[in-house]
Structure 1
């Protein structure tokens, strides 16, 4: 009787065991090993924070990075090669993360300092979302690398393993791996657009968007339900900086002061045209001073033109270049 029961249990467990073996063999989230490069088309499953941390560790001994860009995916269009022209540094590093938080930036700065790097130049590309997100509530794609956050390694790995089994990710992953064909149900787990990660400097490039716009910009910007109409009224928002976040702002300021860093904070031109809250601005000015903060939120030459955006979440490199030209002009 027991033997029959054991056989049934074993038969039931075989798929789970095979999936478990597959997880460790194929490393679908690219977190079990250190990688020199990362594949395209996995932006919805690869953790950008992990990529930024690993590429930094891969190259830091040789490059001895001294200039850094921090922010969410919106900071990605501030290409390091464009920024390099303003700071006299040929190899700045882009240390961004998807849905970045003020806590994430504070710990990254401290992590870099602990590696022995000087922070000569820093560009902080912020908007309200830096204070609105909480990384530990957003899932495995957004959790901070355990080497920076000091999260226990086992807990970090468990978060990804749970996502692999509980959200149906494994079905899409193996389906695409075997047949190399995207199916509609995969959109939840895999990225249909082409995304590129550049080596050494770690820029993040929206390749598919760029190619689609080049092919037919009129068609691209007239896609149905792609851009919503904004109100002509001035869009004000409530405070987003929470009292507990002030400690992270202070930690950022302390690292920058210790390193006598040449730094600038850009409050980016988000498509929603909402202005950065005045009370929140006072908090930033208290720690960083008005001279370091450049506010491009609200209604302006960038936000009024939808062709300055890839979609409602990300503005384009031409906007970033123009902003850098303005804030670094002599």
Structure 2
């Protein structure tokens, strides 16, 4: 009787067992081992924070990085090659993360310092979102690497396992892996735009956007879903820096001071043309000094021209190059 019951249980659980084996064999989120490189972003759930951390750990023994760019995916267009010319460093490191938080930046700085690196140069590319996202509410795409955040190893991996088994991710993943046909429902789970990561310096390049614009820029910038029409009125926002987040600003400042770092903070030109709140700006100035902060938010020569953007979330490398030319002039 017991054996018959046990066999039924095994049959019932066999799909789960097979899926579990598939998770460890195919590693869809690429977090189960240390990868040497990440050639492109296939799964939408690839975690940029994990990639940035792993590439740093892979290459730091050889390059002993001393210059770093921090920020969300909007910082990606501040290419290290362009920045390196301003700071006289051939191998700066791009330590960004999707939906980065101010907590994430503080812990990254402390993590780098614990590795024995000297932080000679730092470029912090910020906007309101740095203070709007909360690390403990982020899913597997955005959660910070446990080796930096000190999140328990088990909790970290449980987040990815839950995403794998829930909401149909594994269906889209194996469907595409087997048949190589894109189906509309996969858009929720898989990323079919080509996104490249450069070796050693870890730049993040929107390859598909670049190719589409080259093919037909007029069609691209008249696409009805990529851009919305903005109001000509001045766009103001309320405060976003919460009182408890000032402890993270304090930790960031402490690392920069200990290393006597040459650093600059760029408040980027977001497509929505909303100005960084003046009270929040004063908070940053009180911590870091006005001379370190460059505010490009609101309506200006960058935000007025929609061809300076890939879409409503990310501005382009030409904007970043011009900003760097101005602030390092």
**Bin for the TM-score computed over the shorter chain:** over 0.9
1:35 aligns with 2:35: yes
TM-superposed deviation, 1:9: 1.4
Contact 1:43 1:195 (C-alpha < 8 Å) held by counterparts: no
TM-superposed deviation, 1:40: 1.7
Distance in 2 between residues matched to 1:320 and 1:180, nearest whole Å: 36
Contact 1:99 1:135 (C-alpha < 8 Å) held by counterparts: no
Distance in 1 between residues matched to 2:160 and 2:41, nearest whole Å: 18
Q: Which deviates further from its counterpart, 183-192 or 88-97?
A: 183-192
Q: Which residue of 2 aligns with 1:2?
A: 2
What SS is found at the alignment partner of 1:81?
A: helix
Deviations 1:131-165 (A, max 9, x none): 00012212011000000001111111111011100
Contact 2:29 2:43 (C-alpha < 8 Å) held by counterparts: no
What SS is found at the alignment partner of 1:265?
A: strand
User: How does the TM-score come out when normalised to structure 1?
Assistant: 0.98
Q: Which residue of 2 aligns with 1:71?
A: 71
1:236-275 aligned within 5 A: 236-275=236-275
1:174-323 aligned within 5 A: 174-323=174-323
TM-superposed deviation, 1:66: 0.3
Distance in 1 between residues matched to 2:43 and 2:75, nearest whole Å: 16
Distance in 1 between residues matched to 2:149 and 2:138, nearest whole Å: 15
1:41-190 aligned within 5 A: 41-42=41-42, 44-190=44-190
Q: Which residue of 2 aligns with 1:24?
A: 24
User: How does the TM-score come out when normalised to structure 2?
Assistant: 0.98
Aligned residues: 329
Q: Which deviates further from its counterpart, 129-138 or 113-122?
A: 129-138
1:43 to 1:20, Cα distance in 2 relative to 1, 3 A: closer
What SS is found at the alignment partner of 2:272?
A: coil
TM-superposed deviation, 1:167: 2.1
Deviations 1:194-250 (A, max 9, x none): 000100000000000000000100000011232111111110000000000000000
Distance in 1 between residues matched to 2:182 and 2:195, nearest whole Å: 15
Q: Any stretches of 5+ residues in structure 2 without a counterpart? A: none
Distance in 1 between residues matched to 2:23 and 2:247, nearest whole Å: 38
What SS is found at the alignment partner of 1:6?
A: helix
Deviations 1:306-330 (A, max 9, x none): 000000000000000000000000x
CA RMSD of aligned residues (A): 0.9
